[in-house]
Amino acid sequence: MARGQSPTVRRRRLAGELRRLREAADLTIDEVGEKLECSASKISRIETGHVGVTPRDARDMLALYGITGDEQEALVQLAREARKRGWWHAYNEVFTGTFVGLEADASSLCAFQALLVPGLLQTERYARAVIRALRPDAEDAEIRRRVAARMARQELLSETPPPEYWAVMDEAVLRRVVDGPEVMAEQLYRMVTVAEKPNVTIQVVPFGAGAHPGMEGPFLIMGFPEQADPDVVYVDDSTSSGLYLEEPTDVRRYGLMFDHLRAAALKPDDSVDLIAEAAGRFAEQAAVPGPVHHPEPRKQ
């Protein structure tokens, strides 16, 4: 499946342009709200990307900022495209915020997980067990819907072109038994198989590495192909919809953390060997033979 730019990223880009143009016109948010006869909070939400902007509102704002002609039309068209719906709107009761839209358009994804297999690598049975554990009060229908949504997200790794996906995880991910040894064996063998994709790299930080920068919790750094779309760090938080960091200093800090995690982790080849060994042990415990695995030449 070919990838197209997501409406979430278009909305984010338009928000940044509207903010930049307002500042260049030397207008405050309050002044724009007064001149356009709307609330300042509406302008603020548009500029932060929290709400979309209609083509008419975009045209009015741009005219106020002195933007006309082709430049205005290009940005109004961007406003139209930003209002389209992505595939994830079919799961709007599952996906909140802008995470999936940003993930869908990223050209690079650098993920760290301390306790769980990253969502893009989870098997259906592992995902079901994790979601049920995290949401013990959820009805079966909700669990099924959330699992289906997570499986749909995973198609991202097979799209054309696929993003570069680099996942680093703590060794605890391989040791924590989720829903029994059979599910764990299936899950870990799946990771070994996915690691053969040319766009996927998986590393494990062994217990012997001691303290490391990822001990505070999981995070994901999303990079984008267009210079106009700066990188975003998503910090997972089970108590909310997550935290998005876009300030260059924050992005650099997490980039440095990820570099240290990669350095502390086993090399990709050794990491895959460790995962395969753990999968074999779980398979023996479950008395279920693992799949015949013929590894392809690994990335250097």
Domain ranges within the chain, ordered by starting residue: 7-84, 88-286
Q: Is residue 164 within 8 Å of 108, Cβ to Cβ?
A: yes
pLDDT band of residue 102 (cuts 50, 70, 90) is confident
pLDDT band of residue 2 (cuts 50, 70, 90) is very low
Burial of 213 (0-12, 13-18, 19+ CB in 10 A): middle
> How is residue 268 written in tokens?
């990709």
pLDDT in tens, 283-296: 998 875 555 455 55
Q: Cα angle at 236 between 124 and 81, to 5 degrees?
A: 85
| Position 3 pLDDT exceeds 50 | no
* DSSP code of residue 117: -
Tell me: cis bond preceding 181? Omega within 30 of 0 counts: no
> What percent of the chain has pLDDT above 70?
84
Which pTM was predicted? 0.71
What value does the mean pLDDT of the chain take? Answer: 83
What own/partner pairs with CB < 8 Å and gap ≥ 24 does 101-104 have?
Answer: 101/6, 101/7, 101/8, 101/9, 102/6, 102/8, 102/9, 102/12, 102/222, 102/232, 102/234, 103/153, 103/156, 103/220, 103/222, 104/3, 104/6, 104/8, 104/156
pLDDT of residue 194: 95
pLDDT of residue 289: 55
Q: What is the fold of 88-286?
A: Endonuclease; Chain A (3.30.870)
Averaged pLDDT for residues 3-25: 74
pLDDT in tens, 31-50: 888 888 888 888 888 877 77
pLDDT in tens, 143-194: 998 899 889 889 889 888 889 999 999 999 999 999 899 999 999 999 999 9
pLDDT band of residue 1 (cuts 50, 70, 90) is very low
7-84 CATH: 1.10.260.40
